[in-house]
Chains A and B, each alone.
Chain A
Amino acid sequence: MGRDGAAGLVCLAGSLVLLWATLHLSKAPLVPIGPAFYPRILLSVSAGLSVLLIASDFLRRRRPAAREARYRLVVLTFLIFGGYVFLLSPLGYRVSTFLFTLILQAVIEPPRGGKGWLRVLAVALAATAVTYYAFEIYLFVLLPRGWATGF
């Protein structure tokens, strides 16, 4: 099975799971068609399209070769971003943003020597301070405060 077939299978599975979930929806009072009506139509359509995609993948003889790519950095970046997102609430905006900008810079391009590290630190600190002041103090967006740090 090719790339399209796999994608089609995932979409089909997703549609079917959501379709199954619509079975538990109770009818709404006053609305003649209820909250499940539109999702069922939509998800049936998407399930049908997924099946078509799987079928077309099987019928195709030639498959495009996947382009070579390195996924190490991609995966790492997603993980670091995920960590940032989940630490935002406990650590607060300032601490987590500083850590995130520091670590991600270092991972994308490992700093060389003391000077390199200094630049990474300076950028992380500046990015945090500037965004914090610009948004919280000047633009009145109250950024998350950490429940664990109170900061």
Chain B
Amino acid sequence: MKRLAPALALLVAFAAVSLAQPAAAAYPDRPVKLIVPWAAGGDTDAIFRPFGIQIQKHLGATVVVANVTGASGTKGAREAKAAPPDGYTIYAMHDYIHLTYYTGVAGVKYSDFDPICSVSSTPAILTASPKTPWKSWQEFIADAKKRPGQITAAVTLGSTSHIFPALVERAAGIKFKYVSYEGLAPRMNALLGGHVDLGESNLTQKGKVQAGQLKFLAIATEKRSPEAPSVPTLKEVGLNIVYDVTRGLVVPKKTPGAVQAKLEAACKKAAAEPKFAADMALQGTEVRLLDRKGYAAYLKKTDDLSLNKTKELGLFKAPKN
């Protein structure tokens, strides 16, 4: 082996040279990895894939969506947190991160990242199974008051789909029985089959409502949505709840300011693309652009809300670090 060592070293050098890409100074000079912590085909993925296409035009580098899945989305968060803060790893975040932190699932907090911009907001709709007898919100509430703790709600425990019905529960003075269904697809499946009564969904389920396979009870927006004008808002029925899931981009802390500014500028232009708005409309989602400052303030606000809610629901667990 001794004689071989120099030859080997030479070969490694050769391989290094032949495989290396030309080095350049300006960011970005190689593909940027966009970590989506959920599976391909899920709602977060469906928002960031079209967004990736738009932002790479304005960033001037390929943006590769990498689905780093596992451990309820926290594997991706951990990976993003540990990535070198050079702007080549960006993380697709949604409001869930506060909840996994306060339920003690993962030691990653929103403040482990620097916000770049928010991208989209998906309003929540309280949705019922076609097998339920209610024809309106009023009938639902009357029934729920009569049978506390008997109406089943499909939720991902400790996630946004859990917080939303919990807000309704508290405001309307009713009580649900929670059943764990992780993710929108299994939840809708259970609603369609009548295995549970209620769940959170969004405007992507409009087709099923038109076909009589699901029922929208109320939407958690300020005003009625033009996409579903017959669905009352929670405010109309007397509950002061506006709830949506906001998604945005963040980078690991200590990413250079110039890189952050560049990403922010590209993000703003990408979110303004009419094609992106059209793509989002298909996802039952609105484009919601907040800049670095605005997104930071928003994150702080939802963080406080999440802390309160997890404590209220008895889900709070001392965060591990």
| Known contacts A121-B11, A140-B62, A140-B64, A29 near B16 by CB under 8 Å | no
In the complex, what distance in Å separates the CA atom of A70 from the CA atom of B52?
52
B204 within 8 A of partner (CB)? no
In the complex, what distance in Å separates the CA atom of A140 from the CA atom of B65?
9
Q: Find out whether the CB atom of A129 lies under 8 angstroms from the CB atom of B64.
A: no
A147 — which chain B residues lie within 8 A by C-beta?
A: 84
> A38-71 toward B: CB 8 Å interface, digit per residue (1/0)?
0000000000000000000000000000000000
Name B19's closest neighbour in chain A (CB-CB).
Answer: A94
A142 — which chain B residues lie within 8 A by C-beta?
A: 31, 33, 64, 66
Q: Find out whether the CB atom of B12 lies under 8 angstroms from the CB atom of A30.
A: no
B297 within 8 A of partner (CB)? no
Q: Find out whether the CB atom of A30 lies under 8 angstroms from the CB atom of B19.
A: no
Determine which of A98, A129, A141 lies in contact with B12 in the assembled complex, contact meaning CB atoms within 8 Å.
A98
B313 within 8 A of partner (CB)? yes
B33 — which chain A residues lie within 8 A by C-beta?
A: 142
Q: Find out whether the CB atom of A151 lies under 8 angstroms from the CB atom of B18.
A: no
Q: Find out whether the CB atom of A29 lies under 8 angstroms from the CB atom of B313.
A: yes
B157 within 8 A of partner (CB)? yes
Name A91's closest neighbour in chain B (CB-CB).
Answer: B12
Q: Find out whether the CB atom of A128 lies under 8 angstroms from the CB atom of B157.
A: no
A132 within 8 A of partner (CB)? yes
In the complex, what distance in Å separates the CA atom of A56 from the CA atom of B291?
69
Q: Find out whether the CB atom of A30 lies under 8 angstroms from the CB atom of B15.
A: no
Interface residues of A in 91-137 (CB under 8 A from B): 94-95, 98-99, 102, 121, 125, 128-129, 132
A31 within 8 A of partner (CB)? yes
Interface residues of B in 1-50 (CB under 8 A from A): 8, 11-12, 14-16, 18-20, 31, 33
B314 within 8 A of partner (CB)? yes
A39 to chain B, nearest CB (A): 16
| Known contacts A29-B313, A121-B11, A140 near B31 by CB under 8 Å | yes
B315 within 8 A of partner (CB)? yes
Q: Find out whether the CB atom of A31 lies under 8 angstroms from the CB atom of B157.
A: yes
Q: Find out whether the CB atom of A151 lies under 8 angstroms from the CB atom of B20.
A: yes
Q: Find out whether the CB atom of A95 lies under 8 angstroms from the CB atom of B15.
A: yes
B164 to chain A, nearest CB (A): 15
B20 — which chain A residues lie within 8 A by C-beta?
A: 151
B69 to chain A, nearest CB (A): 15
Name B18's closest neighbour in chain A (CB-CB).
Answer: A129
B66 — which chain A residues lie within 8 A by C-beta?
A: 142
B178 within 8 A of partner (CB)? yes
A13 to chain B, nearest CB (A): 27
Q: Find out whether the CB atom of B315 lies under 8 angstroms from the CB atom of A94.
A: no
Name B178's closest neighbour in chain A (CB-CB).
Answer: A30
Q: Find out whether the CB atom of A99 lies under 8 angstroms from the CB atom of B31.
A: no
Determine which of A31, A94, A141 lies in contact with B16 in the assembled complex, contact meaning CB atoms within 8 Å.
A94
Determine which of B8, B19, B64, B313 lies in contact with A132 in the assembled complex, contact meaning CB atoms within 8 Å.
B19
In the complex, what distance in Å separates the CA atom of A121 from the CA atom of B16?
14
Name A150's closest neighbour in chain B (CB-CB).
Answer: B84
Q: Find out whether the CB atom of B12 lies under 8 angstroms from the CB atom of A29.
A: no
Determine which of B8, B11, B64, B315 lies in contact with A29 in the assembled complex, contact meaning CB atoms within 8 Å.
B315
Interface residues of B in 264-321 (CB under 8 A from A): 313-315
B230 — which chain A residues lie within 8 A by C-beta?
A: none
Nearest first, the 5 A-B pairs at minimum CB distance are A140-B64, A29-B314, A94-B19, A98-B15, A142-B33
By a beta-carbon cutoff of 8 Å, the part of chain A in contact with chain B is: 29-31, 94-95, 98-99, 102, 121, 125, 128-129, 132, 140-142, 147, 151
Q: List 28 A-B contacts (CB under 8 A).
A: A29-B313, A29-B315, A30-B157, A30-B314, A30-B315, A31-B180, A94-B16, A95-B12, A95-B15, A95-B16, A98-B11, A98-B12, A98-B15, A102-B8, A121-B11, A125-B18, A128-B15, A128-B19, A129-B18, A129-B19, A132-B19, A140-B62, A142-B31, A142-B33, A142-B66, A147-B84, A151-B16, A151-B20
Q: Beyond the given A128-B15, A142-B66, please list 10 additional residue pairs across the A-B interface where CB-CB is below 8 A.
A: A30-B313, A30-B314, A31-B157, A31-B180, A94-B15, A95-B15, A102-B8, A129-B15, A132-B19, A142-B33
